[in-house]
């Protein structure tokens, strides 16, 4: 496989503007699960920027289990993300759900996210290989590590080497948390693959109180960054409020990760 260390023994670094994911810098992505309004997103973006984050996350298109749940603002949400980037200087990562939306989302995003449900949407992955924009590939919630790496292979073999893996928890028999964040995967990916990897402890646990402890554990295991949900008012969030950090909680996360980063010979990206 092209992502194997047997092919490329060095660890790949994916450049997102002046940010480098996969090197000696630790990247912190934060923001709300969904773009809900201009006021909500700009407030979240300002908090992420001033508290030490590098990349703003926020869903304009939301794949929800129930068709009656909030589905996102679509292109209007993308425009708000672009406005937030202009005001804060943060890069933007947001999900693309369908091949026909790639060009649209690519006009606004710095990183194209593929969610857990679409990890094995091979037509979508092939088409993402035709663009140069970095792709954040989340692990499918029931996917093996091999299946995950083969999904990345679809993007790479079709022309786009800029793949960032994201461990976001898998389904197990455990019901105490939303998913089971697989810390094994982080260390193993570093051993067998040359792609950068970040973790999502928000979806990995589903519990606000567990996000920081698991983020710290993931960075200790070798993760190149974290992506977490942060909402200005989690109790008012239209989705995933229970796993979203408050702005103060996000600030505490960043301070904790700064200490962990030093212990593993990394530094927070500026």
**Cα separations in angstroms, 210 against 117, 225, 268:** 23, 17, 21
Tell me how far apart the alpha carbons of residues 212 and 214 are, in angstroms, rounded to a whole number. Answer: 5
pTM: 0.95
Q: What percent of the chain has pLDDT over 90?
A: 90
pLDDT at 3 (0 to 100) = 74
Residue 195 C-alpha from the chain's centroid = 14
Q: Where are the alpha helices (DSSP H) in the chain?
A: 38-50, 75-88, 102-106, 122-128, 145-157, 183-192, 201-205, 208-221, 247-263
pLDDT at 218 (0 to 100) = 98
Q: Which residue has the tokens 């792709």?
A: 135
Average pLDDT along the chain:
95
**Tokens (6 digits) for 157:** 């073999």
Could you give all domains of the chain from N- to C-terminal order, each with its CATH number? 14-268 (3.20.20.70)
pLDDT exceeds 80 at position 6: no
pLDDT at 224 (0 to 100) = 98
Q: Could you read off the pLDDT of 184-234 as tens digits, one per residue?
A: 999 999 999 999 999 999 999 999 999 999 999 999 999 999 999 999 999
Angle at alpha carbon of residue 25, lines to 23 and 31, rounded to 5° = 120
* Range scoring the smallest mean pLDDT among 67-76, 148-157, 197-206, 224-233: 67-76
pLDDT at 72 (0 to 100) = 81
């Amino acid at each position: 496989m092209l992502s194997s260390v047997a092919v490329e023994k060095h660890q790949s670094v994916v450049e997102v503007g002046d940010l480098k994911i996969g090197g000696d810098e630790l990247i912190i992505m934060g923001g709300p699960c969904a773009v809900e309004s201009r006021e909500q997103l700009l407030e979240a973006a300002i908090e992420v920027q001033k508290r030490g984050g590098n990349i703003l996350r926020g869903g304009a298109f939301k794949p929800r289990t129930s068709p009656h749940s909030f589905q996102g603002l679509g292109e209007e949400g993308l425009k708000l993300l672009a406005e937030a980037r202009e005001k804060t200087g943060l890069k933007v990562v947001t999900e693309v759900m369908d091949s026909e939306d790639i060009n649209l989302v690519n006009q606004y995003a710095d990183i194209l996210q593929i969610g857990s449900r679409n990890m094995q949407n091979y037509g979508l992955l092939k088409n993402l290989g035709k663009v140069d924009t970095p792709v954040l590939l989340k692990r499918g919630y029931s996917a093996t590590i091999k299946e995950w790496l083969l999904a990345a292979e679809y993007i790479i073999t079709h022309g786009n080497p800029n793949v960032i893996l994201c461990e976001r928890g898998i389904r197990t028999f455990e019901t105490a948390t939303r998913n089971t964040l697989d810390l094994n995967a982080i260390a193993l990916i570093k051993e067998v693959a040359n792609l950068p990897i970040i973790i999502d402890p928000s979806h990995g646990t589903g519990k606000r109180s567990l996000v920081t402890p698991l983020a710290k554990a993931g960075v200790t295991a070798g993760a190149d960054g974290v992506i977490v949900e942060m909402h200005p008012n989690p109790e008012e969030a239209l989705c995933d409020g229970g796993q979203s950090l408050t702005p103060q909680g996000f600030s505490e996360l960043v301070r904790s990760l700064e200490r962990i980063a030093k212990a593993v010979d990394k530094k927070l990206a500026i």
